[in-house]
Amino acid sequence: MSGASLPAPASVLPHRPPFLLLDEVTLLVPGERAEGSWRTTGSETFFAGHFPGRPTLPGVLMTEALAQLGAYAVLSDERLTGRLPLFGGIDGARFRRQVLPGERLDLRVEVLRLSARAGRAAGEATVDGAVACTCELMFVAVPA
């Protein structure tokens, strides 16, 4: 599935502003992979303190945006109906590019393993084609 036919992130994920870090999903293969984006506006409160005079998107929020896209992919799979994926861990996180206020983070997640109880995914975040973050995400699925 792709583009306009996909449900809005807030209709699939339990996250809500200010912690919904996924603006749109542009590609979905339920339980396998997804692509989407998050555009920062510059008015997010974390930019004021991270860092004054040189605002930078915190790396942990890049990994959270990837995790939310991964949650969208797995929650779209009928094997996880009635379940809630929770972060189980992050492996191999690498931050390769500073992300500035107003930039759009393009997100891609590939599910490597998925069961009704747990899973693992690989994620990549880019800005204008330049890699900003890569990581592997683990999750456990609990009753919603």
pLDDT, one tens digit per residue, over 24-68 is: 999 999 999 999 999 999 999 999 999 999 999 999 999 999 999
End-to-end CA distance of the chain: 25
pLDDT of residue 12: 95
Question: Which pLDDT score is estimated for 81?
Answer: 87
For 68-122, the pLDDT digits (tens) are: 999 999 999 998 988 999 999 999 999 999 999 999 999 999 999 999 899 999 9
Q: What angle do CA 7, 112, 57 make, to 5 degrees?
A: 65
Domains of the chain: 3-143 (3.10.129.10)
Kindly report the average pLDDT of the chain as a whole number: 95
- CA 79 – CA 109 distance, rounded (Å): 18
- The pLDDT value recorded for residue 4 is 72
**Residues catalogued as catalytic:** 50
